[in-house]
Amino acid sequence: MNNSAVVLLSGGLDSATTAAIALHEGFVLHALSVDYGQRHRFELIAAGRVAETLGVERHVEISVDLSRFGGSALTAPIDVPKDRAEEEIAGQIPITYVPARNTIFLSLAISYAETIGAKDVFIGINAVDYSGYPDCRPEYIAAFERMANLATKAGVENRLKFIIHTPLSSMTKAQIIERGTKLGVDYGMTHSCYDPDTDGNSCGRCDACLLRKKGFSEAGLKDPGK
Ligand SMILES: [Zn+2]
């Protein structure tokens, strides 16, 4: 039996926890990170650190330059929103949304998975804190999984029945941090900030920083990240 799985590793807290959960479940991990033309490389550097520390079988970084399209504060010279209230963050789809990003990432992940004969794909999306993102919803994942089995040779030949695992889907940030801490994840290796300084220090004010801060505070833990 092939117990390999592909895990999308962004370098953030959620994907590091997802990878740790998949390892804990006994999978041999093939980590996939996407250089999508984001405004800084710190999260990709973090992904490399996480992959190495957790002990994955292989870590692949692939480039798909979405900055050619722009349109998001993460891929174009648009200011990252700062100091937003919690209700504001949860309220509507923000300018940091990257058009169809999870669909692109998951498509790359099933391509990699089919190539290595793995049926399991892990992605650290979360429907609680980011209620506004259309591609974080459970119904989106269910539809993608169905599509994956229609779209691949391994799927139509019934050799692989793809499963898209979203272990964090219904967890709050605090619960994610608690789970990862129990599994020994060193969150000091991860990077969440959308708008770090040139040394990679977090701004402390973007949505990603604020959600991370709230998560650690609710979990009663100190954030070891910079
Ligand atoms: Zn930040």
What pLDDT, on the 0 to 100 scale, is given for residue 30? 98
CA distance 30 to 65: 22
**Token couple for 213:** 């801060």
**Ligand 1 centre and the CA of 211: distance in Å?**
10
CA distance 149 to 105: 16
**Ligand 1 centre and the CA of 20: distance in Å?**
24
**Ligand 1 centre and the CA of 97: distance in Å?**
15
Instruction: Write the DSSP string, 69-108.
Output: T--STTTSS-PPPBS--HHHHHHS--TTPPTTHHHHHHHH
3-state secondary structure of 169: coil
Q: List, run by run, the mean pLDDT of 10-residue segments along the chain (226 residues).
A: 93 97 98 94 96 97 96 92 87 87 97 97 84 84 96 92 96 96 97 95 95 96 94
DSSP 3-state percent helix, strand, coil across the chain (nearest 5): 45, 10, 45
**Ligand 1 centre and the CA of 153: distance in Å?**
41
CA distance 113 to 4: 8
**Token couple for 205:** 């004010």
**Ligand 1 centre and the CA of 58: distance in Å?**
29
Task: Output phi, psi for 120, to 5 deg.
Answer: -105, 130
Contact (Cβ atoms closer than 8 angstroms) between residue 69 and residue 75: yes
Pairing assessment for the beta strands 28-35 and 120-122 based on DSSP bridges: unpaired
What pLDDT, on the 0 to 100 scale, is given for residue 129? 63
What pLDDT, on the 0 to 100 scale, is given for residue 87? 83
Instruction: Write the DSSP string, 111-133.
Output: HHHHHHT--EEE----TTTTTT-
**Ligand 1 centre and the CA of 65: distance in Å?**
22
